[in-house]
């Protein structure tokens, strides 16, 4: 039996809220009558997005709090969590969504590449989980009607291992693992707080331009993009830009999953065939299947480009 009572009057905290999935989920939350806490590192985009969401939320009786935050910073996230608690109490929805992309052959990524991607994609989720989960559990203990949801944005790259994007793959596998463990841990202690993991495929969101927000301290001054990184960026931009599923479509799937207490959320369920193949490789101790077996021309193009042919 589903005891879902709706979202009106509750609070949603969303990181990466100025664009992509975060912005579309903020729009959805505002239309549902929620209070919306919008978090992003890009100040100008956040200001524009917050103005829109404030108008949407006000029409439904909701309030908006917008904060520029680097989610990889423990101190900044702690300050955010404290302010949310003071202004709204425990949120009912936390969407740990902020993410950045980086590609290239795995040995060619610099230490700064690893630190930047893991800082945002992994530590950003870790901070959201460790700070807001106890808040939700305390609210649940105090109120039998409280329902909390923690949604972590991973990727199909968290269930597969596509070549030439190793740093991103590693970060998103970590998010899937953290989310699955969170689901199991929560089930031990509460029936009121739930975990979910979003695994989108190619959806136009702006993540291929995430380097625009890369802090100066997370860049190597003398490092130039390698051939593999330039090729990976071009291929990602083409694949993401041609996506038929929109970020708004994904936001609707996210909120439907919250209502249904569905853990795995997919933008492209057909892509799960590749996940099944990978799991069969593991169970059968089979060497990893060629990811381009169904599109050999793409694999041939990438190999030729990387080998300089």
Query: Active-site residue numbers?
Result: 168
Closest CA to 186 of 142, 145, 259, 132: 132
List C-alpha distances in Å: 200 to 21, 33, 116: 10, 26, 21
DSSP characters for the chain? -------TT-EEEEESTTSHHHHHHHHHHHHTT-EEEEEES-HHHHHHHHHHHHHHHHTTT--EEEEE--TT-HHHHHHHHHHHHHHH-S-SEEEE-------B-GGG--HHHHHHHHIIIIIHHHHHHHHHHHHHHHHHHH-TT--EEEEEE--GGGTS--TTBHHHHHHHHHHHHHHHHHHHHHHHH-SSEEEEEEE--S--SSGGGGGGG--GGGS-TT----HHHHHHHHHHHHHHHT-SS-HHHHHHHHHHHHHHT-SEEES-GGGHHHHHHHHHHHHTTPPPPPTTTT-HHHHHHHHHHHTT-
**Distance of alpha carbon 218 from alpha carbon 112, whole angstroms:** 5
**Distance of alpha carbon 309 from alpha carbon 307, whole angstroms:** 6
Closest CA to 130 of 182, 172, 174: 182
How many Cβ atoms sit within 10 Å of the Cβ of residue 217? 8
């Amino acid at each position: 039996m589903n005891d879902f009572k709706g979202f009106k009057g509750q609070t949603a905290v969303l990181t990466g809220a100025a664009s992509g999935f975060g912005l579309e989920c903020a729009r959805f939350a505002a239309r549902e009558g929620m209070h919306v806490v919008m978090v992003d590192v890009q100040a100008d985009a956040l200001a524009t997005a917050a103005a829109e969401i404030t108008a949407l939320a006000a029409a439904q009786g909701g309030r908006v709090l917008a904060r520029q935050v680097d989610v990889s910073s423990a101190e900044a996230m702690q300050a955010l969590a404290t302010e949310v608690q003071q202004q709204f109490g425990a949120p009912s929805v936390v969407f740990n969504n902020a993410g950045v992309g980086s590609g290239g052959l795995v040995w060619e990524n610099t230490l700064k590449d690893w630190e930047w991607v893991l800082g945002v994609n992994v530590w950003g989720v870790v901070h959201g989980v460790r700070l807001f989960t106890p808040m939700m559990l305390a609210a649940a203990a105090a109120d039998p009607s409280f329902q909390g949801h923690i949604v972590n944005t991973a990727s199909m790259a968290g269930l597969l291992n596509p070549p030439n994007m190793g740093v991103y793959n590693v970060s998103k596998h970590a998010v899937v693992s953290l989310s699955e463990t969170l689901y199991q841990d929560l089930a031990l202690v509460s029936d009121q707080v739930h975990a979910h993991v979003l695994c989108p495929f190619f959806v136009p969101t702006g993540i291929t331009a995430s380097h625009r927000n890369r802090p100066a301290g997370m860049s190597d001054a003398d490092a130039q993009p390698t051939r593999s990184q330039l090729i990976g960026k071009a291929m990602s931009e083409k694949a993401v830009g041609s996506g038929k599923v929109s970020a708004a479509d994904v936001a609707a799937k996210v909120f439907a999953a919250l209502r249904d207490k569905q853990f795995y959320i997919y933008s492209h369920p057909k892509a799960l065939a590749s996940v099944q193949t990978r799991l069969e490789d593991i169970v059968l101790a089979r060497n990893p299947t060629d990811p381009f077996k169904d599109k050999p021309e793409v694999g041939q193009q990438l190999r030729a480009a990387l080998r300089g042919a």
